[in-house]
Structure 1
């Protein structure tokens, strides 16, 4: 009976260890997915005033085809973009938006992508 009890007890520990490991891996994968952010992605942005393609380069460089450049930062929850001045008519501005992880082709509406807080339609295209 003692041998049987030891086998059951060890099997129970092994099962508990396997279950805990699986849960940890799932949590890590979910956190990793959340932390992906915009790096390497391209978005079509439509506002009331303009339409442009925004590119989030590795290392924090921002480019779009208006043409504007800048920097971006992502903390796992919030994307902040500092868009450089493009002359006196288009000054530098910074916007921060709660992160929305989109698949290619998915869209959403936001008021966080424009300097004035106007509506913008954001579609991930790459």
Structure 2
């Protein structure tokens, strides 16, 4: 009787340990997905005034086809973009937005991607 109780008790520990490990792996996978950020991705950005393609190069370089360049930084939750000046009519600006991880072809509306908070439609294209 003692032997079967010991096996059940040990079996319960093994199951609890396996369950805990599975939960940790799922949490780690979710954290990794969240941490992916924009690196290597391309987005179509459309506002009332303009439309352009934004590219987030590895290492933090930003480039779009307006043409503007700059730097980006992602802390795991927030994406910040410092867009360089393109002459007196288009000064340097910085915008920060809560990160939204979307799949290719998905879109969302945001006021955080433009210099003056204008509405923009963001679509991931790559």
Q: TM-score range by the shorter chain?
A: over 0.9
Equivalent residue runs for 1:84-95 within 5 Å = 84-95=84-95
Per-residue deviation, residues 7-49 of structure 1 (Å, max 9, x unmatched): 1111011001000000000010111111111010000001111
User: 1:58 & 1:26 partners in 2: Cα distance?
Assistant: 27
Partner of 1:109: 109
User: 1:8 & 1:47 partners in 2: Cα distance?
Assistant: 63
Per-residue deviation, residues 34-66 of structure 1 (Å, max 9, x unmatched): 111101000000111111000001111000001
Equivalent residue runs for 1:1-126 within 5 Å = 1-126=1-126
TM-score normalized with structure 2 length: 0.98
User: 2:103 & 2:12 partners in 1: Cα distance?
Assistant: 40
User: 2:87 & 2:119 partners in 1: Cα distance?
Assistant: 23
Aligned positions, number: 126
Any gaps of 5 or more consecutive residues in structure 1? none
Query: Is the partner of 1:114 in helix, strand or coil?
Result: coil
Misfit runs of 4+, over 2 Å: none
User: 2:121 & 2:17 partners in 1: Cα distance?
Assistant: 46
User: 1:7 & 1:87 partners in 2: Cα distance?
Assistant: 75
Query: Is the partner of 2:66 in helix, strand or coil?
Result: coil
Any gaps of 5 or more consecutive residues in structure 2? none
